[in-house]
Amino acid sequence: MNIAIIGLGNIGGSFALAIKENIPDADTYAIDIDNDVLEQAKAQHIIKDGSQDFKDIIPNADLIIFAVYPKLLVQLVKDYAPYLKEGCIITDVTGVKTSIIGEVEPLLPEHADFVFGHPMAGRENRGLEFSSREVFIGANYLITPTPRNREENIEFLKNFVKKLEFGNISVVTPDFHDEMIGFTSQLTHVIAISLINSDDTERNTKKYTGDSYRDLTRITNINEKLWPELFMMNKEHLVKHIENFQTQLDKLNAAIQSDDVGTMEEMMLESTKRYKDLHDIED
Amino acid sequence: MNIAIIGLGNIGGSFALAIKENIPDADTYAIDIDNDVLEQAKAQHIIKDGSQDFKDIIPNADLIIFAVYPKLLVQLVKDYAPYLKEGCIITDVTGVKTSIIGEVEPLLPEHADFVFGHPMAGRENRGLEFSSREVFIGANYLITPTPRNREENIEFLKNFVKKLEFGNISVVTPDFHDEMIGFTSQLTHVIAISLINSDDTERNTKKYTGDSYRDLTRITNINEKLWPELFMMNKEHLVKHIENFQTQLDKLNAAIQSDDVGTMEEMMLESTKRYKDLHDIED
């Protein structure tokens, strides 16, 4: 099987490493705008070969994994479409689904099957040097089939990412995906950015932090070119999640201001219960 | 030196373990309402002896470490005051300072010196079995002297916690402590509780989480008896921090709603800069 990875950054590189480890008989090729990255990956035997010209690679690819920003993905699908191998399977790693599917599917030839997916194993550092196959181990993977997909290709992708050692592999609708991701990933980034930016930088905060502040701000080292795209692509869900969060925040704030211990205790017992559910801890 | 630890829970137990490791010539005694805990700690040689009757221990203690809830701390100081050893040094681990100092200092005999402190090494799990000396290693420690303290006793406490392998030991005013902790610890707990409680529990969220959601909710397994006390003791600072956070959140929310990429990018560049400052990362 010939696999083409488009974009050999952190995620694309992690795919290459995980494939090398877990599917050693596959031949992995890569396309990247940075020739040094391709040379380096080839020298390290992470890929068989790389090229900046997609026509060297795409016509022979049985599986194409797009690991690029959403806007670029749409452009590349347009460029590659006439060159796709008969019956090839395509997938992606985009963090928002409904809008990207709507843009990409009309560009595809009948014979190519794009099964959209989302590995929940992002890392804040960019570039091949931060790639690691370990980040995939046990991580959640979401697959969002559309009516256009062939059943066997959805199965193929499930088995493929299972081999790469992902944990829970869930098949969900694009809209449910976007609702969930808006909550677990996008809302958390909105909160973390707002928290760290609300600091008074005169205070030299780092001398006074415990784990909680470091945990809540770990994701504030954020790719400012990617995330505004993702937020806008999922605006409806995200804004609703922010509102629900604000409702809880207002409730707790009011309880603090009025010494309402009962409401505080109730909210803390509820959060503890939810924490235990999330981590499968028995009472 | 005879050391008395009052309350052999997670933090008190961690002190006992760290003292045993780093100050082996000290004799550590403990008081706890749970006799089983005292027996266990004695059997494991974490303490030399324990008692439920403070009169067995307090009159001989050169250093007393209170590791109990704020309200209980005030009550115990009242009980212990007539029995304190001449010239003893007392400290605590309370997460809010101004109000506790105001309550405790009037109760003290002239000869006893209470130097208030705060190890920033809390853990969400309660009880001796979760104690560990490792949580102290490299952690921040805040000492909040008052005009009543003797200089050599402040120095003593600094050296003492340094021996226990704390990292940054900062001497700050009680009010500045409360401002900082209101931000780095209390605001983060308010946010984490509000986040997890805003989830729709019908969604089975755990199948769709990445690291960010787990990071932002790690502290939601919260002690509902302790934290309302802490929040109310620091209401003024905390409410101000919540307001500042909400201002940033409203700004980002408005930018998302109006496709204002410029503001989003600016906020993300700022958060990335602050992240790097916090972690001493060079650009």
| pLDDT mean for each 10 residues of chain B (283 residues) | 96 96 97 96 96 97 96 97 98 96 98 96 76 90 97 98 95 97 97 98 89 94 93 97 98 98 98 94 78
CB contact under 8 A, A188 and B215: yes
CATH code of the domain made up of B2-172: 3.40.50.720
Residues 6 or more apart whose CB falls under 8 angstroms from that of B144 comprise B97, B101, B116, B117, B118, B171, B172, B173, B174, B177
Provide CB contacts within 8 A for B204, sequence distance 6+. none
In tens digits, what is the pLDDT along chain A, a chain of 283 residues?
999 999 999 999 999 999 999 999 999 999 999 999 999 999 999 999 999 999 999 999 999 999 999 999 999 999 999 999 999 999 999 999 999 999 999 999 999 999 999 998 866 677 888 888 898 999 999 999 999 999 999 999 999 999 999 999 999 999 999 999 999 999 999 999 999 999 999 999 988 888 899 999 999 999 999 999 999 999 999 999 999 999 999 999 999 999 999 999 999 999 999 999 999 888 6
pLDDT score recorded for residue B209: 86
Residue B136, φ and ψ in degrees, nearest 5 = -80, -25
The verdict on a CB contact (< 8 Å) between A122 and B210 is: yes
Cβ pair A210:B140 closer than 8 A? yes
Which helix (H) or strand (E) covers residue B193, if one does? helix B188-197
Q: How far is B153 from chain A (nearest CA, A)?
A: 22
The answer to whether residues A233 and A70 touch, using CB atoms and an 8 Å cutoff, is yes
Rounded to the nearest angstrom, the minimum Cα separation between A13 and chain B is 19
Of B121, B245, B257, the CB nearest to A235: B257
| Partner-chain contact B215 A216, CB within 8 Å | yes
Q: Which CATH class name applies to B176-278? A: mainly alpha
* Residue A82: per-residue pLDDT: 98
CA distance A18 to A161: 9
pLDDT at A209: 86
- A-contacting residues of B 218-277, CB under 8 Å? 218-225, 227-228, 231-232, 235, 238-239, 241-242, 244-249, 251-253, 256-257, 259, 261, 264-265, 267-272, 274-277
B259–A224 C-beta distance less than 8 A: no
> What is the rounded distance in angstroms from the CA atom of residue A132 to the CA atom of residue A15?
8
Query: Mind listing the pLDDT tens digit for each residue in B146-173?
Result: 999 999 999 999 999 999 999 999 999 9
- Residue B274: the pLDDT is 97
Determine, for residues A140 and B207 on separate chains, whether the beta-carbon distance falls below 8 Å: yes
CB neighbour list of residue A134: distance below 8 Å, 6 or more residues apart? none
**CA nearest B203 in A: which residue?**
A180
Please state, as a whole number, how many other Cβ atoms lie within 10 Å of the Cβ of residue B110. 6
Per domain, the residue ranges of chain B are 2-172, 176-278
A130 CB near a chain B CB, below 8 Å? no
